[in-house]
Structure 1
Amino acid sequence: MTASATVPSPILSIAPITDHDVAAVVTLWQACGLTRPWNDPTADIALARRGPNSAVLLGRDGSAIVATAMVGHDGHRGWVYYVAVDPNRQGKGLGRIIMAAAEDWLREAGVPKLQLLVRRENAKASAFYQTIGYEESTSVMLAKWLDGREPTP
């Protein structure tokens, strides 16, 4: 490649998850280290698909699912979870594309603010979000299990 050559920017087809996609999406989330023993990703997908205030968006390169974002809102604040990019395709702009799709989905719903959570130990994810305009909030997140589980780290 010469110095004047350009690398084509990735284009993904973005669409909501279908029943047929669930197993492949869970596999991608596991490959990206997003799942935890106390959260059932299949149940999370089912819950997100129940109503009009949430969705699971997929980024496809041909037929391959290479990026995801679960997006939802309460009418004012939007949230994004399970942002994943195939580990073999990271660093190629796919995270930016799927996050732009999540932001567009929330804008179309009239939601003015997007929030997301990043585990403290995930410096790579924090750095990525900062490169696309996210800032650390001054709020402290508190949590409580309502099903009787013990607190987890």
Structure 2
Amino acid sequence: MDVPASLTIATITDDDVPTIIELWIRCGLTRPWNDPGSDIALARRGDNATVLVGREGGKIVATVMVGYDGHRGWVYYVAVDPDHRGRDHGRTVMAAAEDWLRQRGILKLMLLVRADNLQVQAFYETLDYAKQDRVLYAKWLDGREATP
């Protein structure tokens, strides 16, 4: 993977968690029904997922949560600090996530984008991701009502 000299990719540390959550909030990635701290803890609990961070000058400016379910790879929380956009950091963290999955023998990566988020859809299309026709179903196993 070619990483711009100014961006270094590493696995999350305990000290990174508050900064990452602040970044996700700033980027509009959080939802009231998903606790980002719990999502991070769950990703770090086993060997099948992690959070990768991109640092520029020691500051976290990009993230991606990556994992696999035994069949496919998935990414979530792809974020680039709004003040650092336009420098290919999104492309870089996605390449790092793809590499992480390849190293584990996972050959297909899936991701979800909200239908009205045209800017993010366009971003993934520049990375050669193809839109697939699927119907998404969800159910909260703790009895909560369905969320949008």
Report the TM range for the smaller structure's normalisation: over 0.9
Structure 1 residue 152: deviation in Å? 1.3
Partner Cα separation in structure 2 for residue 92 and residue 72 of structure 1: 25
The residue that corresponds to 2:104 in the other structure is: 109
- Partners of 1:57 and 1:70 within 8 A in 2: yes
Structure 2 residue aligned with 1:135, among 127, 130, 139?
130
Structure 1: tracts of 5 or more residues without a match:
1-8
Q: Which of structures 1 and 2 has the bigger CA Rg?
A: 1
TM (norm. structure 2) is 0.95
- Partners of 2:6 and 2:57 within 8 A in 1: no
Percent identity between matched residues is: 63
Aligned-residue Cα RMSD (Å) equals 1.0
Residue 42 (1) aligns with residue 37 (2)? yes
Structure 1 residue 134: deviation in Å? 0.5
Partner Cα separation in structure 2 for residue 65 and residue 117 of structure 1: 24
Structure 1 residue 72: deviation in Å? 0.3
User: Does the residue aligned with 1:91 lie in a helix, a strand or coil?
Assistant: coil
The residue that corresponds to 1:79 in the other structure is: 74
Aligned length: 145
Partner Cα separation in structure 2 for residue 140 and residue 96 of structure 1: 27
Partner Cα separation in structure 2 for residue 35 and residue 133 of structure 1: 26
Question: Which deviations, in whole Å up to 9, do the C-alpha atoms of 1:20-49 show, x marking residues without a partner?
Answer: 000000000000000000000000000000
The residue that corresponds to 1:27 in the other structure is: 22
Structure 1 residue 11: deviation in Å? 3.5
Partner Cα separation in structure 1 for residue 28 and residue 5 of structure 2: 23
Structure 1 residue 75: deviation in Å? 2.6
Alignment of 1:91-106 (within 5 A): 91-106=86-101
Structure 1 residue 10: deviation in Å? 5.5
Structure 2 residue aligned with 1:64, among 59, 62, 65?
59
Partner Cα separation in structure 1 for residue 118 and residue 133 of structure 2: 18
User: Does the residue aligned with 2:61 lie in a helix, a strand or coil?
Assistant: strand
The residue that corresponds to 1:120 in the other structure is: 115
- Partners of 1:17 and 1:56 within 8 A in 2: yes
TM (norm. structure 1) is 0.92
Q: After TM superposition, where is structure 1 displaced by more than 6 Å over at least 4 residues in a row?
A: none
Question: Which deviations, in whole Å up to 9, do the C-alpha atoms of 1:88-113 show, x marking residues without a partner?
Answer: 11122100000000000000010010
Structure 2: tracts of 5 or more residues without a match:
none
The residue that corresponds to 1:16 in the other structure is: 11
